[in-house]
Structure 1
Amino acid sequence: MVGWRRIGFDPAIATWAAAARRAAVPALGGEVLRCGGTWAVGLDLLANGPDGAVAGAAFPWQAVGLQPVPLHPGQLSAVYPGYPQPSPDETEAAYRFRLNRDSAHLDGLLAVGPEKRRMVKEPHAWILGLPLNECSAGASPLVVWEGSHRIIRAALEKRFAGQAGDWSEVDLTEAYTAARAEVFKTCLRRELPGRPGEAVWLHRLLIHGVAPWQAGAEAPAEGRVVAYFRPLLASVRDWVSLP
């Protein structure tokens, strides 16, 4: 298993994506842009219900091959031409990592405290991305490192071994940094552009990121917009141990 799967075009996904786009464009208008004005994070910005429906369009559970679960308001990640640009909000090293390593990361692992120690604060079951508009393949597509979830799981299992108490308070900084370095050395990097009516499912432990915007790539005025969902699991232990 490479840790991701593409879900091909389905009319039910396309209908949902069209409704989500109509809701997304005005919502993104109020977002503060990061990375020199080339990225809107859009956390919890989509006005979907707990069943995933948007403006009367049912969430396409059957088409994406997932069992219905309560959903949070979707993230609306919008990327614009020129991404990424330097920003006073991040260090030069962080900018170079965004530019050269696609800002590769593991969702759910947050930087905590002034020293930004990595801890699991958002243990999620899976990641589902649904493109909302037509864009060129080079318009900052999603990037994954195939098979990286296996390396990350092995590193986490080793770090958590023998740990009692609340695993969300365990510092994973060094274990994660070393595992990610191994991912870069051994895993295939793959770009995953998509179009409305398609979706992409990611294993929750898969390393992924966003590619820089390629010269000549095109997107609508609202940028390349993807809706993401990450429903939470009951515990960090489930996040590590479940398939």
Structure 2
Amino acid sequence: MSNVLLSVRGLSKNFGGLAAVQSVDMDLQEGVVTALAGPNGAGKTTIFNLMTGNLVASAGDVLLHGKSIIGKKPHRIAQMGIARSFQDLRLFTHMSVRDNVLVAVEPESWFWQPGGKAAWHQRLETVEKALERTGLSAMADKRAVDLSYAETKFLSLARILATGSKIWLLDEPASGLDLNSRNRFINILREATADGVTICLIEHNLDVMTQLADRIAFLDQGKKLAEDVPEKVLRDPELIAIYFGKSQSGN
């Protein structure tokens, strides 16, 4: 069995009387792609927010290398090696492509950065490698706002690549991509897992899930109903009925 890098144990989140996440257990293993599947409102993004400190859990724990990270601030969790993307991408639209990636690898928010020129050149080299891997080198000086939709998706991925993080939490990373762009995106993620990166993604496209995921955790109304290889989860008629809204499920 692969090495478990990140675990959630009994993870729960209540918003008043609404139980958004209910006692979820899950392990993210080194080099393994786990997809969170389920209808809208199943609790998928809430789980990401709990794992990254953007929300405080009502109960349960999140363990990174066996140690609890519950209560830590999001930027501290990011510094510990957990990178996160968002559906809205959160790019600096009027900054250049290069500077958008550079911001992701700056160790501090101060104008003056530690390490001097040597560290600066090392960070810049890291940025250029990330741009090359995502096919954005020729656009490095363009503003993010001037990119196509697909290019902004690759820019978001370049930022994650540049951090060197070994755990990636990706929220609908391939949504809206044309077939060629989607295949290129999937290849980059597969290259990353071959290098030992652990990926957990939220994805609604069944084709992407079957091409990319090693495991699927299926959620509905905040509960994990199943977790297995894609072939088993996606052939379960009850789960498929829930997924396509043929069974009652919350939003």
User: TM-score normalized by structure 1?
Assistant: 0.26
Higher percent of residues as helix: 2
User: TM-score normalized by structure 2?
Assistant: 0.26
Higher percent of residues as strand: 2
